[in-house]
Amino acid sequence: MTDSPPTTRHRAEPAHPRAKPRHAWERWAPAWHWLFYVVLALATWSALADGALSGSRRWSVGVLAVTLAGWYGFWALHRRIWDLRMPQVLVYLAGAATLWVLLEQLHEAYFLLAFAAYPQVFAFLPSPRSAIRGAVVLTGLLLVLTVTESGRLPWLTVVVAVLSVGVGTAMTLFVDAIMRESQQRHRLIAELEATRRELAVAEREAGVLEERQRLAREIHDTLAQGFTSIVMLLEAADAQLGANDGAARAHLDQARRTARESLAEARGVVWA
């Protein structure tokens, strides 16, 4: 399995912040945002409602929760994480994971953020291979937090974690295959539209050329007929002149040469 290029899941060039989403995973972005903020709000409400939480811990929970919300808003909403490169996505994930671990150490309710963390890993990382690796790292982090919290690692937790990674991996590969097929169809449609435009241009050019040839034939026939008539009339006039009409004959010769030259030039211009 090889890494897909960044354009497989992300656009190569950043788009305008208000640009209309062009792909399915971007159209679902509001759902990911709402999921994260709703889960974060529920976990924070549960933690602050816990009477056993001390005042200093409450203050720490509030500050860290607001910081995590702002961190997500900056990277996912303001910077449009779908438009970012892998190093920038990793910066976001590292910061979010750090804040999450700190919050989970303050109150177990923040374990709920795992429900929002897995979609982010699969949606934000730019290739299936990196997403699968991210899911494995996230699962390992969850197991570490479980051991830290309870002091033991139940076998059922391990089984659920392994199954979660397996299902997530299968879904990632399935969705990636669908997206690749969709992108291939988009490319084929774009090629067909380009070919259709080229054919339309060729048809228009052929029509223009045909009309030009028709006009050229008409103009040529008209000019040729007119100049030929002039030459014939001049020759008829020359035949009527006497032997002593040298000056008139010279003018007629000049007129014939001019008519023949004009006829040749008209043919050259029309058929150029």
Phi, psi of 115, rounded to the nearest 5 degrees: -65, -25
CA distance 125 to 100: 18
Helix (H, G, I), strand (E, B) or coil at 42: helix
Task: Tell whether the model's pLDDT for residue 262 goes beyond 90.
Answer: no
**End-to-end Cα distance, the chain:** 61
- The count of other CB atoms within 10 Å of the CB of residue 15 is 14
222 vs 112, more confident: 112
CA proximity to 10, closest of 115, 131, 94: 131
Burial of 76 (0-12, 13-18, 19+ CB in 10 A): buried
H helices of 151-271, in order, are 155-240, 246-270
pLDDT confidence bin for 25, thresholds 50/70/90: low
Helix H or strand E encompassing 128: helix 128-150
Mean pLDDT for the stretch of residues 157-174: 74
pLDDT value of residue 214: 78
| DSSP for 52-64, written as a single string | TS-HHHHHHHHHH
Using only C-alpha atoms, the chain has a radius of gyration, in whole angstroms, of 41
Instruction: Supply the pLDDT for residue 115.
Output: 81
pLDDT of residue 43: 92
pLDDT confidence band for 7 (50 / 70 / 90) = very low
Q: Tell me the pTM.
A: 0.56
pLDDT in tens, 52-64: 888 899 999 999 9
pLDDT-based confidence at residue 10 (cuts at 50, 70, 90): very low
Geometric angle at alpha carbon 255, from 251 and 271, rounded to 5°: 165
| Of residues 27, 31, 8, 138, the one with CA closest to residue 86 | 8
**pLDDT, tens digit (0-9, with 9 covering 90-100), for 227-255:** 777 777 677 766 766 655 666 667 677 77
- Spatial distance between the Cα atoms of 127 and 90, rounded to a whole number of angstroms: 13
- pLDDT tens digits along 143-154: 787 777 777 777
Window from 2-6, 25-29, 76-80, 123-127 with minimum mean pLDDT: 2-6
pLDDT-derived band at 138 (thresholds 50, 70, 90) equals confident
Distance (Å, whole) CA 179 – CA 28: 14
Q: Which of 4-8, 75-79, 99-103 has the lowest mean pLDDT?
A: 4-8
Q: Are 116 and 35 in contact (CB under 8 A)?
A: yes
Amino acid 267: pLDDT: 66
Rounded-to-integer distance, Cα 33 and Cα 212, Å: 61
**What's the pLDDT score for residue 241?**
65
